[in-house]
Amino acid sequence: MIGVSEWSMLKHVEAFEGKTLEIIELLHQSGEDLDVDRVTNLLTERGTVLARMSKPDQELSADERERVQQAQVADSRMRDMLREHLLEAQSKNAKMQTARRAQESYNSPMMAGSAFFDRKN
């Protein structure tokens, strides 16, 4: 379950990345299948990196510009890792929902009745 501090952080990151609402929705849908701590850590790192990158170039020293370039590379990697993690969670959820539907249809009264008649014949 997501705590209040994580919600605050996620809403803060939303200012930098339009996908945060989508991520929050996935967190709700995924429950146990999504590593909330890992996603929260990635988003926190991402927010920090993007905040550094938002300073105008003229305010940055050469050393800071180098760090911003490194931060941009790190941001790209973090985005890829986050996307991969969310896709894995979506895939797990889809498989679980399919298995759950199959189990529910197998346990439905119609199936129980047909199984009863199959055994009699």
Mind listing the pLDDT tens digit for each residue in 28-44?
A: 565 545 566 666 666 66
* pTM exceeds cut of 0.85: no
- Cα-Cα-Cα-Cα torsion 97, 103, 108, 112, nearest 10 degrees, comes to 170
Residue listed under structure tokens 């991520």? 23
**Largest distance between two CA atoms of the chain:** 85
Where residue 4 falls among pLDDT bands split at 50, 70, 90? very low
Half-sphere exposure of 60 (CA within 13 A, CB side): 14
Q: Which of 19-23, 53-57, 65-69, 90-94 is predicted most confidently?
A: 90-94
The percent of residues in the chain predicted with pLDDT above 70, rounded, is 37
pLDDT at 101 over 80: yes
Backbone φ and ψ of 96, nearest 5°: -65, -40
